[in-house]
């Protein structure tokens, strides 16, 4: 796992040119390599392991003396925005280092909301574990206290990253693993065997009125996981839409985004085989609602602060 401090944020370096570990002078815009990658098979219906890819991140430390606990934040389908920036600021105020992970820039992407097959949340799991590998080499980071927090598309990443499968694949014995997972308004509509076992506490946050990644499937997932003894909880915020924590974002309709809220699939593995296009077109629609909810944002911040204090102590 390697990393480079970028001189040009828009110009991804070659994989061979990135550094292998961080120094105290490295906060800021960083280029990093994923822990392998997940690429589609020629038929498009499965994922297989591929070479690492170059992605980027913004590392910032809180004031004071470290080493600090840390939170890696994974953006949604439109790239890093208000939610990630707002959370990163308050997390540092609480004493956590933050690494806002950008899975798009190094891949030449700007968004995947309008074509969800371009890059899935599952395909970003190696990005998060690659970020973890390099982050823990920084002398100002406590490698035993790192959480992953993801939003929407990044919430799907966080759900997948929370599985025992992901830890065993990307953080086997001898490597540092995530201590907690906090997905915000993820899609929970696709069932696969790997999600039945989590590697660390999982704390889901979602909105009651979310019409893009509805709360119901996540509530049912949590009920099933808790029944099997998994350390999982969910908080559903009353009156809250998708992206309820994106400060200043007024209620609006996004007419062109892919919306799989009406889809429910069960697949044999997190790696596929996936539903064929003829199956998904019957349930995927266009359009979703987003809105900032100040009350839900305030409640979520209080909940997350308490959860991190407990889980990263």
Q: How many domains does the chain divide into?
A: 1
Q: What tens digit of pLDDT does each residue of 256-266 get?
A: 999 999 999 99
Q: What tens digit of pLDDT does each residue of 141-186 get?
A: 999 999 999 999 999 999 999 999 999 999 999 899 999 999 999 9
Do 50 and 36 touch, CB atoms closer than 8 A? Answer: yes
| DSSP one-letter string for 184-230 | ES----EE-GGGGSBSS-EEEEEETT-SSS-HHHHHHHHHHHHHTT-
Whether 236 has a pLDDT exceeding 80, the answer reads yes
- In whole angstroms, what separates CA 275 from the centre of its chain? 23
Question: What's the whole-number mean pLDDT along residues 137-141?
Answer: 97
CATH of the domain at 306: 3.40.50.1820
Its pTM stands at 0.95
What residue has token string 């694949």?
169
Q: What tens digit of pLDDT does each residue of 92-120 get?
A: 999 999 999 999 999 999 999 999 999 99
Structural domain boundaries, residue 217: 3-311
Whether 25 has a pLDDT exceeding 90, the answer reads no
């Amino acid at each position: 796992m390697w990393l480079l401090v970028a001189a040009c944020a828009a110009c991804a370096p070659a994989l061979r040119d990135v550094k292998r570990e961080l120094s105290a002078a490295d906060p800021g815009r960083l280029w990093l390599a994923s822990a392998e990658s997940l690429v589609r098979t020629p038929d498009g219906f499965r994922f297989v392991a591929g070479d690492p890819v170059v992605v980027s991140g913004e590392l910032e430390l809180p004031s004071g003396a470290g080493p600090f606990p840390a939170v890696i934040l994974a953006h949604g389908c439109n790239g890093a925005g208000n939610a990630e920036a707002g959370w990163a600021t308050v997390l540092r105020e609480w004493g956590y280092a933050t690494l806002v992970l950008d899975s798009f820039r190094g891949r030449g992407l700007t968004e995947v909301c309008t074509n969800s097959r371009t890059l899935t949340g599952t395909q970003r799991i190696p990005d998060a574990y690659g970020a973890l590998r390099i982050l823990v080499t920084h002398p100002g980071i406590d490698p035993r206290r790192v959480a992953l927090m993801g939003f929407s598309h990044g919430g799907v990443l966080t759900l997948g990253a929370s599985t025992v499968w992901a830890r065993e694949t990307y953080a086997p014995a001898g490597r540092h693993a995530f201590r907690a997972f906090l997905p915000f308004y993820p899609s929970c509509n696709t069932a696969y065997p790997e999600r039945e076992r989590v590697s660390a506490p999982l704390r889901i946050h979602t909105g009651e009125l979310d019409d893009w990644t509805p709360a119901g499937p996540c509530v049912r997932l949590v009920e099933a996981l808790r029944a099997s003894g998994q350390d999982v909880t969910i908080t559903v915020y009353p009156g809250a839409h998708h992206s309820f924590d994106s400060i200043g974002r007024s209620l609006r309709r996004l007419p062109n985004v892919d919306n799989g809220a009406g889809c429910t699939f069960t697949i044999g593995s997190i790696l596929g085989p996936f539903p064929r296009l003829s199956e998904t077109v019957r349930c995927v629609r266009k359009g979703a609602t987003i809105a900032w909810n100040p009350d839900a944002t305030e409640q979520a911040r209080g909940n997350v602060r308490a959860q991190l204090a407990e889980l990263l102590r």
